Chains A and B, each alone.
Chain A
Amino acid sequence: MEDNYYCTQGQQELVSAKPETIRFLMDFSRSYKVERIGGMEFEQNLN
């Protein structure tokens, strides 16, 4: 499975983050909210 995301090209190993990491980041982004009340900033993460 790992071979799908890691490959060697010439001398440099090319690496990519896995789809599940990207899914996690997208979920994090969708649930992350910032509210500003009276000049104060509040972060919310529903996850």
Chain B
Amino acid sequence: MELLQAEDSTLVRNYMNGDEASLEVLINRHNQRISSFIYSKVFDKEITEDIFQDTFIKVIRTLKRGKYNEEGKFLPWVIRIAHNLVIDHYRKSNRMPRYESGPDYSIFAILQDDNLNAEKQLIQEQIQSDIGSMIRELPEEQQVVIQMRMFRDMSFKEIADSTGVSINTALGRMRYALINLRKMIEENQIVLTN
């Protein structure tokens, strides 16, 4: 009974410490939200079931390997995994979703569907948070160049003057920062699209 009222972060911690029942509570708690999110993208109940299953297999593997580090943000994290798997599904099947009017689907439903906008917002926030975390993993001199170039829109001349290095060095730091970010994106299987 206590488990049912526990917060996601507590359940995640319990599960990572070996309590399997906590996972069941998490799955049941978020089943409808995650399944409906997937279904709103693929419009097929069997594919939804498959993607839901693959999503939680990834969740289980990540948690059991101790790789989860997004305290208090379990649902956005799971939705982002589901979102990435939906994209994989469309890449594999080589076709993009179509919006059609019909008995199963109405274009007006998408336009008025605040829940879907909320999901997109969650994903967007999650992506921004991921990028921020990845930038913080970079060596300090690369972080500085990224911050100045991407967020303060400074030229490489200004960056070079401001950090006391040559333009070539600033360019080199930017290049290595981007290489490192790409590597992190690949390693973490992050899809930066919404």
Binding site for B on A (CB under 8 A): 2, 6, 11-18, 21-22, 24-26, 28-30, 32-34, 41, 43
List, in ascending order, chain A residues with CB within 8 A of B106's CB: 11
A-B contact pairs, 10 of them (CB 8 A): A14-B36, A16-B36, A17-B48, A17-B52, A21-B52, A22-B28, A25-B53, A26-B20, A29-B64, A43-B65
Q: Is the interface of A mostly helix, strand, loop or mixed?
A: mixed
Query: Which residues of chain B from 1 to 43 have a CB within 8 Å of any chain A CB?
Result: 20, 23-24, 27-28, 31-32, 35-36, 38-40
Report the Cα distance A29→B19, complex, angstroms.
11
Give the residues in chain B near A41, CB-CB below 8 Å.
Answer: 65
Contact present for A17 and B35 (CB under 8 Å) = yes
Q: Cβ of B23 and Cβ of A18 under 8 Å apart?
A: no
A-B contact count (CB 8 A): 73
**Shortest beta-carbon distance from B78 to chain A in Å:** 12
Complex Cα distance A14/B31, Å? 10
Please provide the chain B residues from 86 to 129 with a CB less than 8 Å away from any CB of chain A in the complex: 104, 106, 108-109, 112-113, 115-116
Beyond A11-B106, A12-B109, A34-B65, is A25–B57 a contact (Cβ under 8 Å)? yes
Query: In the bound complex, what is the Cα–Cα distance between A28 and B99 (angstroms)?
Result: 35
**C-alpha gap A24/B48 in the complex (Å):** 15
The answer to whether A25 touches B60, judged by C-beta atoms less than 8 angstroms apart, is yes
Shortest beta-carbon distance, B54 to chain A, in Å?
10
3 A-B pairs with least C-beta separation: A11-B109, A15-B39, A15-B35
List of A residues within 8 angstroms of B60 by Cβ: 25, 28-29, 32
Give Cα A14 to B34, complex, Å.
10
- Which of the residues B23, B36, B57 comes within 8 Å of A13, measured between beta carbons? B36
The CA of A32 and the CA of B106, in the complex, are separated in Å by 41
Check B31–A6 contact: CB distance below 8 A: no
Find out whether the CB atom of B20 lies under 8 angstroms from the CB atom of A28.
Answer: no
